[in-house]
Structure 1
């Protein structure tokens, strides 16, 4: 086969360039510490490197989310600890206020502290993080969740949404509980609230729930009636005010009720005078209205009496005798839950307006008992959220540890695929230098050859 001088020269030059390119690539590998610099160096290895780098980027994002979650959850945990301390103090003050030896001024002094705690709870509910976001507003992080109204009560303007972040593939964790779950959704043990329009100092207690099935059945029939689905008890004083012996006449009360949909009045015969024989000494008459069959509740009405045991009231309102006497209405509103701020506010209001009359004090004791029950439920609710927070912190910690292990594994895998073996690379470099020098020398000799040198 004939090889032209130009072809021989070109082949030699191409070989020199290939050897020099290999040497430069080896030098670059040594200088960068990477065996695979370009995908063409090792396509299979390059694919594995890309996959590992993408995995590391994803893990890095997850770990950033874990840091965010840890900071938010830890901040919330600290605030809940403060809240629980406040609830425990409210419980202590409620028990203290129930001491019958205390005067009105003593209870008003206690109310000053409960008011301060109430304001502290509002402040906690409106806590913000370093970015100015409201922690307990749900998804409404830019809006203050608790707003004080002109009458001193507060309303919750947040929602029930929770913020979640992804901490692993398909694994999400809540980093912020809503104020609704923590402060608003507290079970009301009595499931109702009560009030009255009495002008004679009559009171109604918070009720005693004795049959939950009857209670549920009762209100299930009024699902279409807007909250608070009020049932009205009407106490009628049947004493004849025209009697010459009035008011020293036998006690004679009757009770009827009107249903939340307006049906009624319906007369109930389950009315008992609990302390009729001792009413003069007790300075109040307790009238028990047993509505277990109707709505699963039993109520006590406290009616003030004088030292002679005479119940306060005007008797027969129209003075004709035998007709309907003076009536007092008591309102029973369905309320399945209460807010912690609402409980604290109610406690403060109760303590600021206690009465010295025995009927007032009996009512005070009943209402304080209801407040204490609901404070206990508030504490349990906070404990439940705190337990959830602890579980979430454990989850993010364990997940972060797994991510850290994955990063270590990926780093090792990357090193084995991507990093250069310096001993091997230096050996290759030496070999390539030797080959290049030999190739260059042979190229010089070959390039100087001429057929005319052989003619003589």
Structure 2
């Protein structure tokens, strides 16, 4: 086989160029110690590096989220712990002021301190983070979670939404504790009430407090089904309880309805999961106790829902709802929306009641026309101040008293302690019963705050666990990237030396071979 001189030169040049390129590539690899600089160097390895790089970026994002979450949790836990401490102080102040040795002035001073505690707790409930976002408002981070109403109660303006942040692959946790979970779900232990029905004018001889729930399961399963009850005193040592149908259910009361006629004995009457405080206050001259106590009676029932109403900011008129009361319990129980409702006026006198929120497909649950200054819808009568206009909307919020936020509890305790009771046994007994109810609600509020702190702690533990997992993944990611991308220094230098030697040998061989020819032999 013959090879022409031109072919030889072309083949030699091509081989030399290829070897030279390899040497340059190896030299660059030796400088950077990176064996993949372009996708062409190793297509499969380059694709894997892209995936690993994306994972590394996500791990960095997770680390940032975890850092932000720890900051939020720290602020929330600090605020919740401070609220718990304030509520404990409120209990101590209330208990100290409610004993019989304190005067009106002492109790009023305690009420003032409770007012300061209430303001402190309100400020903590409306805590903000460094960016000005409210901690306990749910997704409504720009609105104060709690605001005061004109009647002294407080409304939660937030929602129940939790804002989740990813902290790992398929792993996310809520970044916030909502006010609904931390404060609004505290059980109200006073959900029943007693009302004297005889005598027509209270003679002060018998006081029976509102019921305080001692057994929620029994209350829910049995109490509500038989209400309203009549508690009648057949003598100074025996009471009788009948249900709404007139059936005698006294056997379910503590001691089968046997009571003491000892003055101011603060005895407890338990019935179907409810504890009531009973006092018999005999007066001088009451020689025959049975004669003066028999005939007293009370109605015992579940506390009816209260209705709060507020005008929408964009209303055309300045009309307001100044009061709302149940006027027909049957219509209310069967028709009124279970949640928030909207009262919407279509003219100055015509209105419709909708379940909130109103949508294009919403239909009114009740309609009517104004009767003077009142509007009645779904068993509720609203009293309006001013003349409404077409387009006016009012937000209606029923309160079934299943729960009670601690701000309202503190307000009720202040009212109880501010009521004069010096030298008035009946007023003192009522104050002590109200205090006992408030203490029960403070206990449930503290328990709810404690549950919120526990939830923060559980989430914090989840952050720590996921941080350890992410760190392990990060180390594995770094190792994998290094194995694909980084070069072995010994192997690279050996290969570079070999390639440089081959180039030198090729140059020398080409120089020698190019001098061979017949003309060189002449």
- TM-score (normalised: structure 2): 0.67
CA distance in 2 between partners of 1:78 and 1:287 (Å) = 41
Contact 1:163/1:177 (<8 A) preserved: no
Residue 82 of structure 1 is matched in structure 2 by 82
CA drift at 1:84 = 1.0
Q: Secondary structure at the match of 2:174?
A: strand
User: Are positions 1:417 and 2:484 aligned together?
Assistant: yes
User: Are positions 1:145 and 2:212 aligned together?
Assistant: no
Residue 10 of structure 2 is matched in structure 1 by 10
- Paired residue total: 411
Residue 347 of structure 1 is matched in structure 2 by 413
Q: Secondary structure at the match of 2:70?
A: helix
Bigger Cα displacement from structure 2, 10-19 vs 200-209: 200-209
User: Are positions 1:381 and 2:445 aligned together?
Assistant: no
CA distance in 2 between partners of 1:350 and 1:374 (Å) = 14
Q: Secondary structure at the match of 1:337?
A: coil
CA distance in 2 between partners of 1:35 and 1:15 (Å) = 23
CA drift at 1:9 = 2.4
CA distance in 1 between partners of 2:224 and 2:511 (Å) = 105
Q: Which residue of 472, 485, 488 corresponds with 1:405? A: 472
User: Are positions 1:121 and 2:121 aligned together?
Assistant: yes
Counterparts of residues 177-256 of structure 1 (less than 5 Å)? 177-192=177-192, 204-209=208-213, 212=216, 215-218=219-222
CA distance in 2 between partners of 1:387 and 1:286 (Å) = 37
Residue 41 of structure 1 is matched in structure 2 by 41
Contact 1:194/1:206 (<8 A) preserved: yes
CA drift at 1:111 = 1.0
CA drift at 1:13 = 2.0
Bigger Cα displacement from structure 2, 59-68 vs 436-445: 436-445
CA drift at 1:409 = 2.5
Work out which of the two has the higher radius of gyration on C-alpha atoms and give 1 or 2: 1
CA distance in 1 between partners of 2:411 and 2:102 (Å) = 21
Contact 1:136/1:178 (<8 A) preserved: yes
* Structure 1: runs of 5+ lacking an equivalent: 223-230, 239-249, 316-324
Contact 2:125/2:136 (<8 A) preserved: yes
Residue 437 of structure 1 is matched in structure 2 by 504
Contact 1:208/1:299 (<8 A) preserved: yes
Contact 1:274/1:286 (<8 A) preserved: no
Contact 2:195/2:298 (<8 A) preserved: no
Deviation digits for residues 36-78 of structure 1 (CA, Å, limit 9, x no counterpart): 2223323343344333323222222222221122111121111
User: Are positions 1:335 and 2:401 aligned together?
Assistant: yes
CA distance in 2 between partners of 1:296 and 1:425 (Å) = 84
- Going from structure 1 to structure 2, the CA distance change for 1:408 and 1:328 (only over 3 Å counts) comes to closer
User: Are positions 1:371 and 2:375 aligned together?
Assistant: no
Deviation digits for residues 341-389 of structure 1 (CA, Å, limit 9, x no counterpart): 2212211221122422111111111221121122122222222222222
CA drift at 1:79 = 1.1
Q: Secondary structure at the match of 2:175?
A: strand
Deviation digits for residues 408-449 of structure 1 (CA, Å, limit 9, x no counterpart): 232223223311222322232233223223334444555x55
Contact 1:201/1:303 (<8 A) preserved: no
CA drift at 1:309 = 5.4
Q: Secondary structure at the match of 1:24?
A: helix
Residue 228 of structure 1 is matched in structure 2 by none
Contact 1:204/1:330 (<8 A) preserved: no
- Going from structure 1 to structure 2, the CA distance change for 1:4 and 1:200 (only over 3 Å counts) comes to farther
Q: Secondary structure at the match of 1:165?
A: strand
Residue 170 of structure 1 is matched in structure 2 by 170
Relative contact order (C-alpha < 8 Å, sep 6+): which is higher? 1
CA drift at 1:168 = 2.0
CA distance in 2 between partners of 1:216 and 1:19 (Å) = 90
Bigger Cα displacement from structure 2, 430-439 vs 123-132: 430-439
Q: Secondary structure at the match of 1:176?
A: coil
Q: Secondary structure at the match of 1:401?
A: helix
Contact 1:340/1:378 (<8 A) preserved: yes
Contact 1:237/1:327 (<8 A) preserved: yes
Contact 2:194/2:298 (<8 A) preserved: no
User: Are positions 1:131 and 2:131 aligned together?
Assistant: yes
CA distance in 1 between partners of 2:463 and 2:63 (Å) = 9
CA distance in 2 between partners of 1:178 and 1:201 (Å) = 48
Q: Secondary structure at the match of 1:187?
A: coil
Residue 98 of structure 1 is matched in structure 2 by 98
CA distance in 2 between partners of 1:192 and 1:35 (Å) = 79
